[in-house]
Amino acid sequence: MEEIDRRIVTLLAHDGRMSFTDLARETGLSVSAVHQRVRRLEKRGVVRGYAAIIDHDAVGLPLTAFVSIKPIDPAAPDDAPERLAHLAAIEACHSVAGDESYILKVRVASPVALEDLLQQIRASANVSTRTTVVLSTPYEHRAPHVASEPASDQDRPA
Rounded CA separation 127/117 (Å): 13
Q: What is the pLDDT of residue 150?
A: 58
Reported as a single tens digit per residue, the pLDDT across 106-117 is: 999 999 999 999
Rounded CA separation 99/68 (Å): 9
Which pTM was predicted?
0.79
Percent of the residues in the chain that have a pLDDT greater than 70, as a whole number: 94
Q: Round the average pLDDT of the chain to a whole number and report it.
A: 91
Reported as a single tens digit per residue, the pLDDT across 20-79 is: 999 999 999 999 999 999 999 999 999 999 988 899 999 999 999 999 999 999 898 899
3-state helix, strand, coil split of the chain in percent (to 5) is: 35, 20, 50
Rounded CA separation 149/157 (Å): 16
Q: What is the pLDDT of residue 143?
A: 81
